[in-house]
Chain A
Amino acid sequence: MATIKKFMYVNRKAPYGTVYALESLEVVLIGAAFDQDVSLAFVDDGVYQIMKGQDTSGIEVKNFSPIYSALGDYEVTKLYVEKESMEERGLTLDDLMPLVYEDEDDDWAEKDSITVVSRAEMAELLEQQDVLFNF
């Protein structure tokens, strides 16, 4: 078996204003087929991607925020959100969608996918990866 690599998708853009957020999600879903050790980072404006209560009916653009809830099905269960990025934007964990996954190895117990990390911890996480995908 090939060596499993640590893949991290680094999301730094707000949704809708540009296409980066949706493109990242699509690559994550496609990449999930390759059985690597995948995680997602939400840094800077990227934290806006997982805001709860998004309703795009007024701007005639697809609301793709429900897709983040399907990531657990794709075994993408490590979502790191940077604390300082939230604070600079006046946000707390309560403003984000409660993203969860069911742990196959723990009798399908529901667990949180989101981990809030400090900027220093995020820097460490980036350092630990084999491959970084930037959006």
Chain B
Amino acid sequence: MALVVDGKEFETDEEGYLANINDWVEGVATAMSAEDELELTDEHWDIIRFLREYYEEYQIAPAVRILTKAVAKRMGKEKGNSKYLYSLFPYGPGKQACRYAGLPKPTGCV
């Protein structure tokens, strides 16, 4: 499977996750969210960028409860709670936000 952004093809796996995290550009997130009929706001981008930084440091896509805790620590409790994160990413902040960020599916998600 492949995702096309500005005429360039990005390889994805059978669940729509980017095959190579280093291929990622912001257009990937925009294109994926458009397919889900979701418009990305600054609040979405904060989480997407946070996930990319987390992966850069630890080489893993965090499970949703770890993401929630880490966001709370970095951005405060009003963002680091599952209600807020699910309101941004209704398909699940772990899976959906990681996919937009070009990360693999979080370890421990089924």
- Chains A, B in direct contact (C-beta < 8 Å): yes
Number of interface residues of A (CB under 8 A): 15
Contact indicator B66/A73 (Cβ below 8 Å): yes
* B28-36, B57-65, B80-88 - interface stretch: B57-65
Q: Is the interface of A mostly helix, strand, loop or mixed?
A: helix
- Residues from chain A with Cβ under 8 Å of B73 in the complex: 108
Q: Check A29/B107 contact, CB under 8 A, given A73-B69, A73-B70.
A: yes
A69 interfacial contact with B, CB 8 Å? yes
User: Do A69 and B58 have beta carbons less than 8 Å apart?
Assistant: yes
- From residue 55 to 101 of chain A, which have CB atoms closer than 8 A to chain B? 62-64, 66-67, 69-70, 73-74
Q: Is B7 an interface residue (CB 8 A)?
A: no
A73–B107 Cα distance when bound, in Å, is 14
Would you call A30 and B107 a contact (CB within 8 A)? Answer: yes
With A33-B108, A73-B69 given, is the CB distance from A66 to B57 under 8 Å? yes
A30 to B109, CA, bound (A): 8
CA distance in complex: A29, B58 (Å): 13
Point out residues on B near A: beta carbons under 8 Å.
Answer: 57-60, 62-63, 65-66, 69-70, 73, 107-108
A-B pairs, 8 with minimum CB distance: A70-B58, A30-B108, A66-B59, A29-B107, A73-B66, A66-B58, A67-B60, A67-B59
Q: Mark A residues whose CB is within 8 Å of B.
A: 26, 29-30, 32-33, 62-64, 66-67, 69-70, 73-74, 108
